[in-house]
Structure 1
């Protein structure tokens, strides 16, 4: 059964094309969080990357601390902290501080890393990343959930009688969420520890999207094996979504930006094959939508696309817009506005009561006196 309510948020990796002044780019990203806060989005996630140019935010905790002062209700999440790069005590300590600075709105998103150059610059072999993630995750979970002092020794960190000197804000739990790109390892580890998960529904251009239903099954099986209780309401899925007045207007708005993201970033910079047999680059966005790697279209198209995603996965708790610079700034803002005002209410239920009220009046209006406006006669049959 689907979770009762589907929440909406955004996931900023980020992916920004080269050429923009970074100071102004950071400011624009903060302004986006402010906009989504005003539009009642539930969450905003910010990633950690240190190379490749397009991935411009290296310390999401600092970014989220700045965002906390500009926002009122939106939850703020690291999307994600790459655990192999940090001592787990420092990860947990920063999480506690952000939990207080945000008045309990912080979510600690963690992952194993996605850009080999980052690991190379730190002298970490890529083959070590998975083991480091597993070791660090266990320590971070224990530090944030246990009242006992923690002791652990691995090849790269030591914890000696370690205990955080502050409890979470109002003694609430800091939510921890592990990110999964497709291997299933993070889903297994999250199930073992009973923590939340965020799955990437977006695929590299020219490739099939990951099997999200299968990912959840891995998570569910691991949780059952280790006696952990999990809930689909704590499962996030991130996917590119763009809403326009019409399907054509939406597709045309993102066409050039999608090509730049697919062929300049993934193709030219990352050196990966992004070709689609029989599909010209200028039509790659239509192919991505057809494959389910993005939802782009009118309000009705996007409602249908989200419904299909829920059916295919069996249900989840939050849909995160995978934030991209595929369209110009004003059209991007308009898309978030349309999503919040007209798409989200189909899944949050926020527009159901007014619609029910209007329908009830329409169905029962014969029993009420009708107001006669100046210059208008009374309705036939009414005195």
Structure 2
């Protein structure tokens, strides 16, 4: 698959906030970021679910996305992601449809097994069961969203002739995507169910994974299950920070990036390697630089992966708030149009006029000379004919 005619873009709000930052204000900032993305023309916003660490602070993405639905107009709103082993499948399906109606058909369902072992531990869930439980839940949720009646019994939930009281607004249903990080479980599940992939491993802290290989796993799982998957529903998730000056962009983020690594990723999440910001920039697992740098990095990613449908910015507090908002605007102004075909008509028009300019001058000369003649006046000596204005 070559680069799509129109690549979609969005933001992915885990979120990551410092533990010394006001939680009420950071939640407000997350909502404001979705509102800004909507105004700037981004296509999607995804919001995560976490219950521990105090850094990834949103416990219920459905609540946050419902609030965002009120203050936005067109951006699609996705759970990024609901940790399925934490919830009864009927409740997930019901809340998804409710969000879809509240947002007038803009809901997306992103799912995963649960990223933080500390979350599962508090609920008495054994981590080794989480991936299988995610699959069992999805086996029920997908047919429920299609309007089917589902009966199922597992060692952790039961459905007795369950059905939804109302269905998604769009006849094609709600888009579904599975998160993929370290293991092949996510892409395997996506392939088995014929749904999309949220590749957080594209910009995984500590070095990105082989994305082409991950997609091959998804394709094999789909073939084995008799389903179909599409690269159009493949989403890459990376951290991005842009400035008009590359060195300035790096200065904007380097201190907070290192602090996040030393305070959160290493002691709390157990990251063991010493991957540096320079390493991340070199292998495109973080894109820090100018809009031109970002365009080149995304082009490389398209080439390396074989193509995907959506690029998502993993939001973070590496830069100060004004710098973060400015980065998002630079991305919308200069990066998105490059991949969406919106610049081509204007550039083509300018090139056409430039090529024809030598032939326009005598036509303009004749028209202006006639205008002076019709007015009974002589054309002043040395008049520079630029146009008919």
Is the shorter-chain TM-score for this pair beyond 0.5, marking a shared fold? yes
Q: Is the CA contact 1:195–1:230 (under 8 Å) kept in the aligned structure 2?
A: yes
Match of 1:262 in 2: 261
Q: Could you list the per-position Cα deviations for residues 264-305 of structure 1 after superposition, in whole angstroms to 9, with x for gaps in the alignment?
A: 1112333432324xxxxxxx3222111322011111111111
CA distance in structure 2 between the aligned counterparts of 1:135 and 1:149, rounded to whole angstroms: 16
Q: How many residues of Structure 1 are paired with residues of Structure 2 in the alignment?
A: 371
Q: Is the CA contact 1:220–1:230 (under 8 Å) kept in the aligned structure 2?
A: yes
Match of 1:365 in 2: 357
CA deviation after TM superposition for structure 1 residue 223, in Å:
1.3
CA deviation after TM superposition for structure 1 residue 172, in Å:
3.7
CA distance in structure 2 between the aligned counterparts of 1:99 and 1:298, rounded to whole angstroms: 36
Match of 1:279 in 2: none
TM-aligned CA distance change 1:148 to 1:375, over 3 Å: farther
TM-aligned CA distance change 1:308 to 1:139, over 3 Å: same
Match of 1:248 in 2: 247
Match of 1:351 in 2: 343
Q: Could you list the per-position Cα deviations for residues 206-263 of structure 1 after superposition, in whole angstroms to 9, with x for gaps in the alignment?
A: xx31111111111111112222222111100101111111111111111111111211
Larger radius of gyration: 2
TM-aligned CA distance change 1:261 to 1:367, over 3 Å: same
Match of 1:281 in 2: none
Output the TM-score relative to the length of structure 2: 0.92
Q: Is the CA contact 1:104–1:172 (under 8 Å) kept in the aligned structure 2?
A: no
CA distance in structure 2 between the aligned counterparts of 1:326 and 1:370, rounded to whole angstroms: 55
Q: Is the CA contact 2:236–2:311 (under 8 Å) kept in the aligned structure 1?
A: yes
Structure 2: which 5+ residue stretches go unaligned? 369-379
Match of 2:102 in 1: 101
Output the TM-score relative to the length of structure 1: 0.93
CA deviation after TM superposition for structure 1 residue 182, in Å:
2.7
CA distance in structure 2 between the aligned counterparts of 1:52 and 1:222, rounded to whole angstroms: 34
CA deviation after TM superposition for structure 1 residue 376, in Å:
7.6
Bigger mean CA offset, 182-191 vs 111-120: 182-191
Q: Could you list the per-position Cα deviations for residues 171-215 of structure 1 after superposition, in whole angstroms to 9, with x for gaps in the alignment?
A: 34111111100311111111111111111112223xx31111111
Structure 1: which 5+ residue stretches go unaligned? 277-283
Q: 2:157 matched to 1:157? A: yes
Question: How large is the RMSD of aligned CA atoms in angstroms?
Answer: 1.9
CA distance in structure 2 between the aligned counterparts of 1:227 and 1:272, rounded to whole angstroms: 37
Equivalence map 1:1-383=2 (5 Å): 1-2=1-2, 3-145=4-146, 147-200=147-200, 201-205=202-206, 208-276=207-275, 284-368=276-360, 369-370=363-364, 377-379=383-385
Q: Is the CA contact 2:10–2:313 (under 8 Å) kept in the aligned structure 1?
A: yes
CA distance in structure 1 between the aligned counterparts of 2:61 and 2:382, rounded to whole angstroms: 62
CA deviation after TM superposition for structure 1 residue 344, in Å:
1.1
